[in-house]
């Protein structure tokens, strides 16, 4: 064990715990002033942040990062202005802390009040995008939490510069600089150390690949809010508006295929499968989508499409896969019940949709699919904090406790009970 590193990370945790006690009783006006100061500092430090980002871009190019990854890593004035605007938007949102969730009085005169409170200290481990540093810090602070951030090595210089500006803004408003802390080293042992720090950390939120999430979930001694695969399905029912269904599946698959709420599976009722594939299948192929089809689906393509090289035989594994690219698994089913059963056994409980004109079938799907978000006649691409009206988000939780779906301010709080009496004893 690296004792120096262990001590360094524990010192960060201790400082975060002290800051969390301050933030828990900080009024909304002070938190909002801190957020506005953080936005100002971010813009004031634009040059230094971009210079730091240039070091990451240079290293990423040298290390062979893909063009997509380089683009996610890149910062410029426009992106920094958008980050600052996001911070100011968060400042304008209602404070999620101190809300009265429920109140009642017992016969003995005791009054009970259930109120929202901060979680405390949140650890967030993430990869790639440096804007997550800002989003995570801002949301946690607005909800009265101290945060310890551990970003990926590919963005270390950018993350340090952003976190420094945010810390300075918080301090300008009188909040502890340790309200927001970034682990300044990229040693992989840091993840294990953080996972063992249940003395200081109340919750861990990993954002990244499946390997990272599984590592954190396996080692953490505190609750973990996971953001697992997005194996999202669209089911086209026998009485669907096929033109609507075509638009929905093209949007869900093609608009941004590399995100967690993109469709990965297309389920077609047998009665409409042939007609749908003749139109929508051709359109998907025109977009360059590789269609991995079960035997029934492959047989239903019109003759002039069957020879297309993008139409392939699906393996069993394809229906369990988050492709994050222009690949779509296609299966024919005989009923909405079969579609629901397929999603339950093959999906990831993230986002799933039905397209149908039958309200009773839609309700059966909405009730029967056990996913964080379930859609009727709409694209799965709406699973996003901004699209839900929450503002920026920490991520999409596929857990059931304590948060599910897009996680924003409200999901970064817990609750407690306050009981007021006049001398009652039991």
Between 390 and 189, whose confidence is greater? 189
Q: Where do the structural domains in the chain lie, given as residue ranges?
A: 3-227+402-420, 232-386
Q: How far apart are CA 229 and CA 208, in angstroms?
A: 10
pTM of the complete model: 0.89
pLDDT of residue 370: 97
CATH topology of domain 232-386: Aldehyde Dehydrogenase; Chain A, domain 2 (3.40.309)
pLDDT tens-digit series, residues 361-384: 999 999 999 999 999 999 999 999
In the DSSP assignment, the letter for residue 338 is H
Count of residues making up the chain: 426
**What tens digit of pLDDT does each residue of 134-151 get?**
999 999 999 999 999 999
What pLDDT is recorded for position 224?
95
Distance CA 215, CA 206 (A): 9
Pseudo-torsion of CA 149, 153, 156, 157, nearest 10°?
Answer: 180
pLDDT single digits (tens) 269-302: 999 999 999 999 999 999 999 999 999 999 999 9
**Dihedral (CA of 31, 33, 38, 39) sign:** positive
Identify the DSSP state of 241.
-
Question: How crowded is residue 113: how many other Cβ atoms within 10 Å of its Cβ?
Answer: 15
Buried b vs exposed e over 250-263: b needs ≥16 C-beta within 10 Å?
bbbbbeebeebbbb
Task: Report the C-alpha gap between 384 and 406 in whole angstroms.
Answer: 6
Q: Is the pLDDT of residue 392 over 80?
A: no
Q: How confident is the model at residue 1 (pLDDT cuts 50, 70, 90)?
A: low
> Interior CA angle at 272 toward 266 and 274, to 5°?
85
pLDDT attached to residue 36: 98
Q: What pLDDT, on the 0 to 100 scale, is given for residue 402?
A: 87
Angstrom distances, CA of residue 420 to CA of 97, 113, 155, 369:
20, 9, 50, 42
Integer Rg of the chain from CA: 24
In degrees rounded to 5, what are phi and psi of residue 39? -65, -45
CA distance 268 to 245: 10
234 forms bridges with which residues in the sheet? 266, 353
CATH architecture for the domain at 3-227+402-420: 3-Layer(aba) Sandwich (3.40)
Q: Worst-scoring range by mean pLDDT, 126-130, 200-204, 317-321? A: 126-130
In the prediction, which pLDDT does 15 show? Answer: 98
Report which of 333, 330, 267, 274 is spatially closest to residue 302, judged by C-alpha positions.
274
CB hemisphere CA count around 368 (13 angstroms) = 18
**328-337 pLDDT, tens per residue?**
999 999 999 9
Q: Return the sign of the alpha-carbon dihedral for residues 32, 38, 39, 41.
A: positive
Structure token pair of residue 141: 């602070």
| Two domains, one topology: 3-227+402-420 and 232-386 | no
Could you give the CA distance from residue 206 to residue 346 in angstroms, rounded to a whole number? Answer: 23
- pLDDT digit string (tens) for 190-213? 999 999 999 999 999 998 888 889
How confident is the model at residue 68, as a pLDDT?
77
Token pair of 383 as six digits: 């699973």
Backbone phi and psi for residue 302, each to the nearest 5 degrees, phi listed first: -60, 155
Integer Cα distance of 352 and 251 in angstroms? 14
């Amino acid at each position: 064990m690296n004792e120096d590193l262990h001590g360094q990370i524990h010192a960060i945790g201790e400082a975060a715990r002290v800051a969390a006690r301050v933030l828990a009783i900080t009024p909304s006006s002070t938190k909002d002033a801190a957020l506005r100061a953080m936005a100002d500092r971010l813009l004031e430090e634009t040059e230094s942040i971009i210079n730091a980002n240039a070091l990451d871009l240079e290293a990423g190019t040298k290390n062979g990062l893909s063009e997509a990854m380089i683009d996610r890593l890149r910062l410029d004035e426009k992106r920094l202005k958008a980050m600052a605007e996001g911070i100011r938007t968060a400042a304008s949102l209602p404070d999620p802390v101190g809300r009265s969730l429920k109140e009642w009085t017992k016969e003995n005169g005791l009054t009970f009040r259930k109120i929202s409170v901060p979680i405390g200290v949140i650890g967030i481990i993430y990869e790639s995008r440096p804007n997550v540093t800002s989003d995570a810090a801002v949301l946690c602070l607005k909800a009265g939490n101290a945060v310890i951030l551990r970003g990926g090595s590919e963005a270390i210089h950018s993350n340090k510069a952003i976190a420094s500006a945010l810390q300075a803004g918080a301090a300008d408003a009188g909040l502890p600089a340790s309200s927001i802390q970034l682990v300044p080293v990229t040693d992989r042992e840091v993840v294990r150390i953080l996972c063992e720090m249940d003395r200081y950390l109340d919750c861990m939120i990993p954002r990244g690949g499946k390997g990272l999430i599984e590592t954190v979930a396996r080692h953490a001694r505190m609750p973990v809010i996971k953001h697992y695969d997005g194996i999202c399905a669209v089911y086209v029912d026998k009485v669907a508006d096929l033109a609507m269904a075509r638009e929905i599946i093209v949007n869900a698959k093609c608009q941004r295929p590399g995100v967690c709420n993109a469709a990965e599976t297309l389920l077609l009722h047998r009665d409409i499968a042939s007609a749908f594939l003749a139109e929508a299948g051709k359109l998907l192929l025109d977009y360059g989508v590789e269609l991995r089809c079960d035997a029934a689906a492959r047989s239903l393509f019109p003759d002039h499409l069957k020879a297309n090289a993008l139409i392939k035989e699906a393996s069993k594994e394809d229906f369990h896969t988050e492709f994050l690219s222009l690949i779509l698994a296609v299966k024919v089913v005989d009923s909405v019940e079969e579609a629901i059963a397929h999603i339950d056994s093959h999906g990831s409980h993230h986002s799933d949709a039905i397209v149908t004109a039958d309200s009773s079938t839609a309700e059966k799907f909405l009730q029967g699919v056990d996913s964080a978000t379930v859609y009727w006649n709409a694209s799965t691409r709406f699973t996003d904090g901004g699209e839900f009206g929450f503002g920026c988000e920490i991520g999409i939780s596929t857990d059931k406790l304590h948060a599910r779906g897009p996680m924003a301010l409200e999901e970064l709080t817990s609750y407690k009970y306050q009981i007021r009496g006049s001398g009652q004893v039991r």
